Every structure is written in C-alpha cells, then in structure tokens.
Amino acid sequence: MSDPFSLAGKRILVTGANTGIGQGIAVSIARAGGTVIGVGRSSMDDTARKIATMGGQFEAVSADLADTSAAGPLLDRVWDESGPLDGLVNNAGIIRRADAVDLSEADWDDVMDVNLKAVFLLCQSFAMRALAAERKGKIVNIASVLSFQGGIRVASYTASKHGVLGITRLLACEWAQKGINVNAIAPGYIETNNTQALRADPDRSAAILARIPAGRWGEAGDIGDAAVFLLAPASNYMHGAVVPVDGGWLAR
C-alpha cells in the first residue's frame, strides 16, 4: 500500500523559495520525496544546500513576480523545458506597512500584483497545462490569518489575502471535477522577514505572543508540513479548504 503522505515522483513548483515560509515548504516537500522547482527573485543557494543535505532534488528558477506579465510564461517555460508539474505552491508575497491614510497607490498596487494577481495567473497557467495534458494536479495558495481579520497598518496586504482565500474557493469550485485540487494554508505569526518589524517591537511582540495559545511564534517548517499534506494523496477529497496553521490564533 502506497504512503498517502508521500510526494515521491512528484514535481512541485514553489514560489518565493529563497527564504522564510517558502524555504520551509521547499524543504518539507523534498523530505517527502518530491522534486522542488524553486522560484525566487534572489539567490536560492541556501535552500538548495538544505535540500541537497537530505539527498533531495531542487531546481532553481530566477524570476521576479512583481512583473506579473512574467507569471504565466514562467510556468509554461518550466513545464516545457524541464517537464510537467504535479503541484504548485503560491507562496511569494510582500507587505507594506503604513496607516491607511498614508498608504500610497504604488504600495497598494505592488502588494496586490505579487500577492494576488500573480497568484491567479500562475493558477490559471497551471490549470491550462494540466487540463490540456489530462493530468491531475494540486494547488496550494498561501493565505493568512489576515484572510479572516483586518489587522493594523497593512491595508493592501489584508485585501490581497482576503482575495487569495476568495480565489482559492472559486477555483476549487471550477476545477474540482476536473482533477485539480485547490486549497490554501493560513499561516499565523511565523518567524520570517515579513514579521521582523513586529518581533523587533517589544510591545507588539508581547501582545501577539499573549494571544497565541501555543505561546510561540511559528516556524517555516510548520507551514511546510501542512503544504505536504495538501499536495499528497491524503488530501485528495479536499477542495476549497483553508487550513489555519497559527498556534491557535483564530480560535482565541
């Protein structure tokens, strides 16, 4: 009987694989036996080393998803040049912090382009190729606890993550009967570059930790292991689900 949590023989594209949550997801996929095609705008050498140490397979693709016109062609190029994909993890994201009255239009557009528009375009490209080849596939979008809450001083980020949850559900409804699972993970407060400003603020950090039932900041691997589940056969009957990995934050 095959392991329902194995990704052996699967090729998974992960965006933002150079650091943080993306790196954690890449490492977890490799540990589960999958081949990772990592997409990043900066060096992914550290991710490659971590995966090589465990004997895993990693392919690096340099791209900046801030240029949304490159998103669909990027996936097509990977598919054509190195082989079909079995899964897609849309992790790449950026954040801009400012009071809503001070947030610039440029900061709004930059965040929405990377966090939402590029996500949709990559999903669209993946589905077009998978359906044309009559292949099954799995998509995991990285949402946020701010897909459910408002947050503070992150207007464009919150809007984009609400959008990620919405588009995950919409695509699941359209593609479930066609063999493509679309689900999402909602990370809580994870130790990454995006949360560095919060962790460096003693008052904000203390307030956040006081609310998390687990009593700690999350680690990238916490998200990575959840992604493996949503990419593996164990989740075959899951469509349009969002899995909070937040130390209990949303339950509080």
- Is 157 assigned a catalytic role? yes
The kind and range of the H/E element at 230 are helix 220-231
Which listed residue (58, 157, 217, 229) is catalytic?
Answer: 157
Nearest to 116 by CA among 90, 137, 136, 134: 90
**Separation of alpha carbons 40 and 43, rounded Å:** 7
**Separation of alpha carbons 142 and 102, rounded Å:** 27
Q: Is the CB of residue 240 less than 8 Å from the CB of residue 183? A: yes
**CB contact set of 200 (below 8 Å; sequence gap of 6+):** none
Residue type, 65: L
Per the listing, tokens 């052996």 go with 8
Catalytic residues: 157
